[in-house]
Amino acid sequence: MSSAVNFIYFLILNTLIVINAEDYEIDENGYVAYCPCMGRFGNQADHFLGALSFSHALNRTLILPPWVEYRKGESKSIQIPFTKYFRVDSLEEFTKVIPMEDFMEHLSDKVWPAGRRVSFCYSERKKLDGTSSGSCNAKDGNPFFSFWDGFGIDFDKSEFFGPLLTYDVIHRGMDAIWNEKYSSKKWPVLAFTGAPAAFPVQAENVHLHKYLKWSNEIEEKVKKFIINLLPKGAFIGIHLRNGIDWIRACDHIKDVKQLFASAQCLGYSNEKGSLSMDICLPSQEQVIRKIKRIVKKFKETHKNNEIKSIFVASDNNHMIEYLNEHLRRMKIKAFRLPENNPHVDLAILGRANFFIGNCVSSFSAFVKRERDSRGFLSEFFGYPNEKAQKNGAKHEEL
């Protein structure tokens, strides 16, 4: 091999080494890690936006946790890499982030070595049998154990940050208080047993959803479904919650002013309305009436692009036969994914020409936030009140 070739090879090799080093440069301001251990995807997504805001306010890098999923017949949770569903580069437009897999492989030994790992929690977390643990007990139970153990993480001690500190770093100068008490030099990684965020997502953090972009893999599946399976033309996306667990949850609306993500349509102080069974669990008749009303409205405002199909996502009953029967005269047909893939469901709903969701559902809230960031139209079943609409009551356009 000639000296010139050797020199070029040397330059290429060293360039690659430099790029690799820069990719995993240590953040001297520290990191934030957490277990997304509350609820399923919708809840975890709400928490993620709060955690994104929290780490940004502290000027720390957010370690992107895998998504925690639960499969039938399996006793332990399954951890899906963050990048399976979402892009990292779009988040970097807002703040510093790194996938947890990359952090543990390339930086943990230098920044957060075994023997110096501390779990953070508001107060003592008791053992599963109810007895005192005297610690955050970060790995007790599911999905806590599966999550941390999947990365070989054991905690050496606990740190209780309550009651003086809160996750609300947007107000009251709480970010400065956190940084003063937990400097990055002494506490390089703030590892929380749960998300450092509120549920539902704080109103101030809703806009951060615009940085959450679907991965190329998800986008490709959405594109294929819309092109190959849906009739050519506009389509409405609807989300139906009607499983037995949801029915039981809706039984509690008489005792509360807000439930789950209901603030997305009612307002955080119920300034836009009150919770009702029509909002939480609309009947089949209410569903079809809402769809027909939207189809008519869409036709009036989009002369050259009529609704041709309905895409349905649901936790239980997709009502495909019912919808097809009642929409036959309008020459509109209902469709669903042939397989169970909630993330593709979400992404398709986000692309619909119009979306009708469940006000109470955090799954619907995910779609609504994405569509709002793109300027797409959305409404909710049971809201605003049908009688109020008939009486010509004015309401804020959603």
E strand spans, the chain: 31-34, 61-64, 67-69, 78-80, 97-99, 118-121, 157-160, 189-192, 234-240, 307-314, 333-335, 354-357, 378-380
- What sign results for the dihedral spanned by CA atoms 106, 109, 112, 118? positive
Domains 6-206 and 215-390 share a fold: yes
CATH of 215-390, one of 3.90.1150.10, 3.40.50.11350, 1.10.1060.10, 3.20.20.140: 3.40.50.11350
pLDDT band at 260 (very low <50, low <70, confident <90, very high): very high
pLDDT band at 168 (very low <50, low <70, confident <90, very high): confident
Share of the chain above pLDDT 70, in %: 91
CB 51 within 8 A of CB 197: yes
Of the candidate ranges 46-55, 60-69, 166-175, 363-372, the one whose mean pLDDT is the lowest: 166-175
In 3D space, the residue among 398, 396, 322 whose CA is nearest the CA of residue 365 turns out to be: 398
Q: Could you tell me which residues come within 8 angstroms of residue 201 by beta carbon, excluding any fewer than 6 positions away? A: 46, 47, 49, 50, 365
Tens digit of each residue's pLDDT (9 = 90 or more) over 62-121: 999 999 999 888 888 999 999 999 999 999 999 999 999 999 999 999 999 999 999 999
Q: Could you tell me which residues come within 8 angstroms of residue 209 by beta carbon, excluding any fewer than 6 positions away? A: 49, 366, 369, 370, 372, 373
Q: What is the mean pLDDT of residues 111-137?
A: 95
Neighbours of 245 (CB within 10 A): 10
In 3D space, the residue among 240, 294, 211, 193 whose CA is nearest the CA of residue 45 turns out to be: 211
Secondary structure letter of residue 251 according to DSSP: G
Angle formed at CA 357 by CA 355 and CA 362, multiple of 5 degrees:
125
**What's the confidence (pLDDT) of residue 390?**
54
Q: What is the mean pLDDT of residues 181-197?
A: 97
Tens digit of each residue's pLDDT (9 = 90 or more) over 144-162: 999 999 999 999 999 999 8
3-state class percentages of the chain: helix first, strand second, coil last, to nearest 5: 45, 15, 45
Please tell me which residue, 22 or 385, carries the higher pLDDT value.
385
Domain ranges of the chain: 6-206, 215-390
Asked whether the predicted pLDDT for residue 278 surpasses 90, the reply is yes
| Rounded-to-integer distance, Cα 211 and Cα 95, Å | 10
CB 36 within 8 A of CB 149: no
Q: What Cα–Cα distance (Å) separates residue 379 from each residue in 84, 253, 268?
A: 29, 20, 17
Classify domain 6-206 at the CATH topology level. Answer: Rossmann fold (3.40.50)
Q: Could you tell me which residues come within 8 angstroms of residue 186 by beta carbon, excluding any fewer than 6 positions away? A: none
| Rounded-to-integer distance, Cα 243 and Cα 323, Å | 18
φ, ψ for residue 250, nearest 5 deg: -65, -20
Secondary structure letter of residue 233 according to DSSP: S
In 3D space, the residue among 227, 205, 164, 172 whose CA is nearest the CA of residue 49 turns out to be: 205
| Rounded-to-integer distance, Cα 84 and Cα 69, Å | 13
In 3D space, the residue among 32, 199, 37 whose CA is nearest the CA of residue 125 turns out to be: 37
**What's the confidence (pLDDT) of residue 387?**
61
